[in-house]
Amino acid sequence: MDNKIYLSVVIPAYNEEKTISTTLLDIDKYLSKQKYAYEILVVSDGSKDNTVQIAEKMRELVKNLRVINNKENHGKGWVVRQGMLESRGEFRLFTDADNATTIDHVEKAWPLLEQGHGVAIGTRDSRDNKEAKQAVPQSFLKRRLGDIGNILIQILVLWGIWDTQCGFKIFSAKATKEVFSRTLIDRWGFDIEALALAKNLGFKIGLFPVYWINNPNSRVKLTAYLKVFIELFQIKYNLITDKYGLKQIK
């Protein structure tokens, strides 16, 4: 086995003391059976509980684990950017700390990446892929807000993708560097921004279905949906005004 890291797994974490150890064990159990070298990065977003201490303790069991402890809260987009750019893998996956999408879904991404896609993303929406499933559907209000948001996202920046927010996305090293070195959104709208940048930079985006297990203790509140709408228009403005510096590379 080549010692060069093939897959990096980035886990953004904010107050995840109840879930982080189980998630790390599950991910390491799967990856330790693979023939490629890997690393796992837990990036704490200013956690106020024992997330960092527990993750550090897990290094005794998970040999390929790194823990980045940010003292202040910056937002999920900020720590995902940090983790993706500090990771070293040929491919770099970010996934949620609650393990809502299990690590074995990465098997569905490899064919897309081998076919030349720079980005492969999981989708929970059957309109993207009829095999996509959710263990427990979200509330009616969240689904309707999500639908409205997705339509706006498609109209403004990213046509053809119904689920931009699933927290299971893998980028090639090249796509990671090109995309995340340009991202500006620090919070919930970062997924949209990253995909819009990937598209505008010419990277092919592939979709694969996931079986998503909704976390009943999720801290994603309805106000987050409204913030995503605001950030969506900010992303559109950034694209129009070339805040991302895309014109100079075309």
16 Cα distance to chain centroid? 16
DSSP secondary structure letters along 4-61: SEEEEEEEEESS-TTTHHHHHHHHHHHHTTSSSEEEEEEEEES-SSSHHHHHHHGGGT
Strand partners for 87 = none
**pLDDT confidence of residue 222:** 61
3-state secondary structure of 191: helix
**pLDDT confidence of residue 1:** 41
Q: Is the pLDDT of residue 217 over 80?
A: no
Q: Which residue has the higher pLDDT, 112 or 136?
A: 112
Pull the structure tokens for residue 171: 């980028």
CATH code at 5-249:
3.90.550.10
Quote the crossing angle between the two packed helices 140-156 and 222-240, to the nearest 10°.
0
Which pTM does this prediction carry? 0.92
Per residue in 55-109, pLDDT tens?
A: 999 999 998 999 999 999 999 999 999 999 999 999 999 999 999 999 999 999 9
Listed by start position, the domains of the chain span 5-249
**pLDDT confidence of residue 70:** 98
- Sequence-distant (6+) residues with CB within 8 A of 211 are 101, 102, 105, 132, 133, 134, 135
- Burial code of 59-92, b = ≥16 C-beta within 10 A, e = fewer? eeebebbbbbebeebbbbbbbbbbbbeebebbbb
**pLDDT confidence of residue 60:** 96
Between CA 179 and CA 6 the distance in angstroms is 19
Rg of the chain over all Cα atoms, to the nearest angstrom: 17
**pLDDT confidence of residue 23:** 98
Asked if residues 193 and 77 have their Cβ atoms less than 8 Å apart, the reply is yes
Alpha helix locations (H) across 70-172?
Answer: 76-86, 106-114, 140-156
Between CA 164 and CA 227 the distance in angstroms is 15
Asked if residues 16 and 51 have their Cβ atoms less than 8 Å apart, the reply is yes
